[in-house]
Amino acid sequence: MYQKSDYIGVFDSGLGGISVLRHLKKILPEERYLYYGDSANAPYGKRTTQEVIQLTLAAVEKMDVARLKALVIACNTATAAAVGLLRQKYKDLIVVGIEPAIKPALDRFPHGTVGIMATEVTLREEKLDSLLHRIVVDATVCKIPAPGLVELVESGRLDTEEMRQLLRGILQPYADKLDALVLGCTHYPLVADEISRILGKQVLLFDGGEGTARETRRRLELAGLLHEGHGEILWENSSQKEAFLELSQKLLNQR
Ligand code: DGL
């Protein structure tokens, strides 16, 4: 029997957090997940920080934390803007955020050129600069915004010519320059294959999903809260459109 507070809540502004849920499911297959996407309000990435904070707090309230034993903020934008406030507000809950995987990328290429592709909010928030300042390397770091990309993913236009054109426009200027690209928004790993095709296999892609899943497991283990039994996923979305449920399941199962 499941206890009332036995879910791991996974939150994103929309469908991007599914790229994190894939890692969670892989390393914690027996857990019960509640995935909440705020697709009605996505994208968060070009809003003001204050708006992102308000939307994140409201969405987490809708998830009903009484049902949760842990909350994974599977959104770099919401983590950058609101993870501190969430930890203050929900002191008894395990709250795990996601950060762009800059450290592993710079550890691998300390003298190289590393791109960080992320939303406008993530790129301008203090959290990113303090992360960069903590890592002392003489690598060149390029911040790469990707306007329009989240919208295409949210509307299911992943494997389309429109997507390829948009990605080419964003990434081709960097094609011969980068050693690595950090996918600093959870929507981007959902089109990682297309990104690799444009940049070439020699450019390594890094994303924070796996590290976030491992950190979630570590925190649950430490608290003695790991669950053994049948895993399941409960899908909730602020958009009432049926298509989101279908697309969510498709994205989760896609290789
Ligand atoms: N998936 C989110 C992230 O990781 C942001 C997408 C959005 O702009 O809503 O940053």
What pLDDT is recorded for position 219? 98
Q: What is the mean pLDDT of residues 215-236?
A: 95
8, 10, 75, 96: the active-site residue: 75
pLDDT exceeds 80 at position 2: no
The response to whether residue 56 sits with its C-beta less than 6 Å from ligand 1 reads no
Identified catalytic residue from 20, 55, 185, 213: 185
Residue 179: φ, ψ to 5°: -95, -35
Q: What is the mean pLDDT of residues 195-219?
A: 97
Asked if 159 and 247 touch (Cβ cutoff 8 Å), the reply is no
Atom number, ligand 1, closest to the C-alpha of residue 16: 1
Q: pLDDT at residue 157 above 70?
A: yes
| pLDDT score, position 241 | 85
Mean pLDDT of the chain: 95
Q: What is the mean pLDDT of residues 167-177?
A: 96
Q: Which ligand 1 atom is nearest residue 43's CA?
A: 9
pTM (whole model) above 0.85: yes
Please enumerate in sequence order all residues whose Cβ is within 8 A of that of 211, keeping only pairs 6 or more positions apart, or say none. 101, 104
pLDDT at 182 over 90: yes
22, 49, 77, 237: residue to mutate for ligand 1 pocket, most atoms within 8 A of CB: 77
For the Cβ of 189 lying below 6 angstroms from any atom of ligand 1, the answer is no
Assign 4 a pLDDT band (cuts: 50, 70, 90).
low
Quick one: which atom of ligand 1 is closest to the CA of 12? Answer: 1
The arrangement of strands across the sheet holding 232-237 comes to 94-97, 68-73, 7-12, 32-37, 232-237
Both tokens of 204, joined, read 């390594």
CB 30 within 8 A of CB 230: yes
> pLDDT-based confidence at 144, cuts 50/70/90?
very high
Identify the band that residue 187 occupies on the pLDDT scale cut at 50, 70 and 90: very high
pLDDT for 3 equals: 61
45 lines ligand 1 (CB under 6 A): yes
pLDDT digits (tens, 9 = 90+) for 234-243: 999 999 888 8
Q: Contact 35/236 with Cβ under 8 angstroms? A: yes
142: annotated active-site residue: no
Higher-scoring residue by pLDDT: 4, 209: 209
The stretch 121-144 carries a mean pLDDT of 89
In this structure, of 17-26, 46-55, 187-196, 245-254, the range with the lowest mean pLDDT score is 245-254
